[in-house]
Structure 1
Amino acid sequence: MLRKVDKHSGVPAYLQITNMIKSEILLGNLQKGSQLSSIRELQQIFDVNINTVLKALEKLKSEGYIEAEQGVGYFVKKDFDVDKKVIEIIKTCVAKLKDNSIDYYTAILIFEEVWKNE
C-alpha cells in the first residue's frame, strides 16, 4: 500500500518509497508490465520532493525491479511474487509476536539475530 512517508522515522524518504513500491511488487500487487503512477502522482502520494521520488525510482531500477521507457513512464520489470505460504507463515508469526506484546522494533531485532545465526 502506497502512503505518505513518515518524515520522523529516521529512515530516508527515498528508502521508504523504494521499500513501499518493492513490497507491492514482491507481494504480487504490481506485476510484470504494470505501469507505476506518474512521477507527479507519486510525488503527491508520498508527499515529498520530486527529486526524492526520482532517487527512489532510480534505486528500484538499479536493483532490477523496474525499467523506464522514455516519455512513457516506469514499468515493473519482472514478477517477484512471494509464495503465498510464506506470507501466511509471516502473518502467523506477527500475530504471535503481538500476542506476546513484542513491538515491531524488538521483532526486527529478533529477526535479524535469528537470520544471522541460521
Structure 2
Amino acid sequence: MLRKVDKHSGIPAYIQIVNMIKSEVLLGNLQKGDQLPTVRDLQNIFDVNINTVLKALERLKAEGYIEAEQGVGYFIKRDVYIDQKIIETIRECVSKLKDDHIDFYTAMLIFEEVWKNG
C-alpha cells in the first residue's frame, strides 16, 4: 500500500518510496506491465517534493524494477515471485511476535542474527 513517507523515521524519503514500491511488487500487488500513478500523483500520495519522487523512480529504474516510456509514464518491468506459503509463514511469525509484545526493531535484530547464524 502506497502511503505518506514517515518524515521522522531517519530513513531518507526516497528510500522509503523505493521500499514501498518494491514491497508492492514482492507482494504481487503490482505486476509486470502495471503502470504506476503519475509523478504528480505519487508526489501527493507520498507527500514529498517532486524531486524526491524522481530520485526514487531513478533508483527503481537502475535496479530494474521499473521502466519509463517517454510521455506515457512508469511501468513495472519485472515480476518477483514469492511463494504465498512464505508470506503466510511470515504473517504467522509477525502475529506471534506482536502477541509477545516484541517491537519491530527488536524483531529485526533477532531476524538479522538468525539469518547470519542460520
Measured against aligned partners, the alpha-carbon deviations of 1:80-118 in whole angstroms (never above 9, x if no partner) come to 131100100000100111111100110011111111122
Give the percent of matched residue pairs that are identical in Structure 1 and Structure 2: 76
CA–CA distance in structure 2, aligned partners of residues 10 and 78 of structure 1: 29
| 1:106 alignment counterpart | 106
Q: Please give the secondary structure, in 2, of the residue aligned with 1:101.
A: coil
SS at match of 2:82: coil
Q: What is the rounded CA distance, in whole Å, between the counterparts of 1:117 and 1:70 in structure 2?
A: 46
**For residue 91 of structure 2, what is the aligned residue in structure 1?**
91
The 5 Å alignment of 1:1-118 reads 1-118=1-118
Deviations 1:60-92 (A, max 9, x none): 111111111111110000111311001000001
Provide the secondary structure at the position in 1 that maps to 2:37. coil
Q: Which runs of 5+ in 2 are unaligned?
A: none
Per-residue deviation, residues 42-76 of structure 1 (Å, max 9, x unmatched): 00000000000001011111111111111111000
The letter for the 2-side match of 1:109 is: L
Aligned length: 118
Instruction: Please tell me the residue identity of whatever aligns with 1:77.
Output: K
Is there any run of 5+ residues in structure 1 with no aligned partner, and where? none
**Local SS of the residue matching 1:32:** coil
Instruction: Report the aligned-residue RMSD.
Output: 0.7
* DSSP 3-state at the match of 2:96: helix
Distance 2:116 2:58 in 1: 29
1:75 aligned counterpart, secondary structure: strand
Q: State the AA in 2 paired with 1:78.
A: R
Distance in 1 between the 2:59 and 2:109 partners? Answer: 25
